[in-house]
Structure 1
Amino acid sequence: MRRALLAITGLAAGTTALVVLKGTPGVTQVAQDRPVAEAPVAPGGSAAPAPTPVRSAAPSAPASAKPSAKAGVSRSPGAKSSTGARSTTAALKATTSAPKPANRTVTGPVVSYKYGSLQVRITLNGTRIVDATALGMPQSGQSGLRSDDVQARYSGTAGEVVAKQSANLNTVSGATYTSDAYRQSLQAAIDRA
């Protein structure tokens, strides 16, 4: 029990020292030593506030000493405590995230088969298929029932196309021709994407 407590305390002290010694992300030691008059220019053209130098914790602190939440940690002027308030580091990270890829739609060719014709349209987010649907499938009689079975199994955001991310789909029982036509149009749409 004592070893576990010492290990946890040492880990917490080491993490605190690492955070303190690392300083503000993206600010080099040269930038930290600049006078206020030579403050770096922010991307918007205005001068960024001069960062406060970070004070390091004593490296020879005994491992058994309990670290204090405030010991050796200095904050930049706009930072708030970690009790749920937003810090300047979090604000920096939020503004530098990469843009999310936009959804795009790709449609496969019309494929004629024994019971009619169909065409598959897929929606992609980046290179990932996020939705699929068949267009122009027969709606009435036995062909309509087969079409409904194929559409239910393959299409939609939770269908087999999204799950497998390919045209390697299981054949729907009793709808072999419709399944084959769907896979053929789907493969062409994937190739176009």
Structure 2
Amino acid sequence: MRRISLWMLSTVAALVLLFSYRTSTGPSPAPATVAATPAGEGQSFSGEVARTQEGDVQVVITVAGGRITSVAVPVYPTGSQRHDEISARAVPELVAATLAAQSADVDSVSGATYTSGGYRESLQSAIDAAGL
């Protein structure tokens, strides 16, 4: 009898904790463009839209003086709270890594494997279009 009471109490406590867990306290911000040069300088190149299991990804780079000076991600997985949170976290990390590496050789962001793969694919097509 004591085991049953303890089991029931544990189950109720676990359910209360499970249903009171919050994954987010508010809307997540959309990923932004990161630029190292003023707007209007350089030439822009759009990568092809990469289709992933989680959604489409497209990268647009600006090149000046043979270097990637800014990266924009106009298309990324969105539409659900989960996708918005993942993209809001992953896209700025990928953009910063691209500006540092000056190539598509950037690491995947943990928890955003498909988005990272689509990002690299689209980024490489933009780099190819730029002739870098």
How far apart, in 1, do the equivalents of 2:99 and 2:70 lie?
6
Pick aligned residue for 1:192 from 95, 107, 129: 129
Moved over 3 A (4+): none
Instruction: Give the corresponding residue for 2:55.
Output: 116
Structure 1: gaps of 5 or more residues: 1-101
Partner letter of residue 113 of structure 2?
A: T
How far apart, in 1, do the equivalents of 2:94 and 2:76 lie?
13
**Structure of higher RCO (CA pairs closer than 8 Å, 6+ residues apart):** 2
Partner letter of residue 179 of structure 1?
A: S
The residue correspondences of 1:66-77 to structure 2 (distance < 5 A) are none
Give aligned-pair identity as a percent: 38
**Aligned residues between the structures:** 89
| TM-score, length-scaled by structure 2 | 0.64
Structure 2: gaps of 5 or more residues: 1-40
User: Which is helix-richer, 1 or 2?
Assistant: 2
Bigger mean CA offset, 138-147 vs 122-131: 138-147
Instruction: Give the corresponding residue for 2:75.
Output: 136
The residue correspondences of 1:82-93 to structure 2 (distance < 5 A) are none
Q: How far did residue 142 of structure 1 move?
A: 1.2
User: Would the aligned equivalents of 1:133 and 1:151 in 2 still touch at CA under 8 Å?
Assistant: no
How far apart, in 2, do the equivalents of 1:151 and 1:117 lie?
13
Pick aligned residue for 1:172 from 91, 109, 114: 109
SS at match of 1:191: helix
Q: Does 1:163 align with 2:100?
A: yes
User: Which is strand-richer, 1 or 2?
Assistant: 2
How far apart, in 2, do the equivalents of 1:173 and 1:189 lie?
24
- Aligned CA RMSD, in angstroms, stands at 1.1
Structure of higher CA gyration radius: 1
SS at match of 2:73: strand
